[in-house]
């Protein structure tokens, strides 16, 4: 999916300074930002939507939801976020970790900032299944599957980078 298709469905989102700020947040490794990840998930979700021959309206919803699925707006690697999680203990601490809460935060923020539909926000809120409730629509399943595929690749690449770095420190 090229830049033209993304802009056709979500140009206002792409050009918004709040979306551009996602470039400053590391995500799945030091070479990956939330912005990079969001674009990669959008491309994958768009390809799935095209393969399923979704309507123009549904494809546009897939693109918007995929683009904003991680629009949570904070650095989840920061000490500030760690302090937030430490306010809780036991099971409540677990359920307040980033993986469990960021979909709902991103959905609320996307609705407030960009006026996304309830269906698009539901896809965003549920994209972390099984840490979030099960997706209820095609849009939600597409965003979930695209995110899992892209995140798996990014985390694997990041792990390889960390292993290479450790190897270099030990044997170089």
* Cis, bond preceding 130 (omega within 30 deg of 0): yes
Contact 126, 140 (CB under 8 A): yes
Stretch 87-108: mean pLDDT, rounded?
84
- Would you call 89 helix, strand, or coil by DSSP? coil
Contact 23, 107 (CB under 8 A): no
Contact 26, 77 (CB under 8 A): yes
Residue entry with tokens 């923020």: 109
Residue entry with tokens 């900032």: 113
Which pLDDT does position 51 carry in this prediction? 96
Which pLDDT does position 165 carry in this prediction? 59
pLDDT at 22 over 90: yes
Using alpha carbons only, give the angle 92, 97, 100 rounded to the nearest 5 degrees: 95
105-163 pLDDT, tens per residue? 999 999 999 999 999 999 999 999 999 999 999 999 999 999 999 999 888 887 766 56
Which uninterrupted H or E stretch holds 121?
A: helix 118-126
34-45 pLDDT, tens per residue? 999 999 999 999
Which pLDDT does position 116 carry in this prediction? 97
Both tokens of 82, joined, read 């760690």
44-76 pLDDT, tens per residue? 999 999 999 999 999 999 999 999 999 998 877
pLDDT band at 2 (very low <50, low <70, confident <90, very high): low
Number of structural domains found in the chain: 1
**Domain assignment of residue 136, given as a range:** 3-171
CATH number at residue 154: 1.10.3210.10
């Amino acid at each position: 999916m090229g830049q033209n298709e993304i802009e056709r469905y979500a140009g206002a989102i792409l050009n918004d300074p709040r979306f551009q700020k996602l470039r400053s947040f590391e995500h799945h490794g030091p070479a990956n930002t939330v912005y990079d990840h969001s674009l990669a998930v959008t491309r994958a979700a768009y390809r799935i939507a095209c393969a399923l021959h979704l309507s123009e309206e549904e494809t546009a919803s897939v693109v918007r939801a995929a683009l904003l699925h991680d629009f949570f707006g904070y650095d989840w690697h920061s000490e500030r976020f760690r302090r937030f999680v430490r306010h809780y203990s036991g099971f409540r601490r677990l359920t307040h970790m980033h993986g469990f809460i960021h979909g709902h935060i991103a959905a609320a923020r996307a609705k407030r900032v960009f006026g996304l539909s309830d269906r698009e926000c539901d896809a965003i809120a549920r994209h972390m299944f099984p840490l979030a409730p099960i997706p209820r629509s095609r849009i939600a399943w597409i965003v979930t599957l695209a995110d899992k595929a892209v995140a798996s690749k990014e985390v694997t690449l990041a792990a390889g980078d960390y292993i290479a770095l450790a190897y270099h420190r030990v044997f170089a």
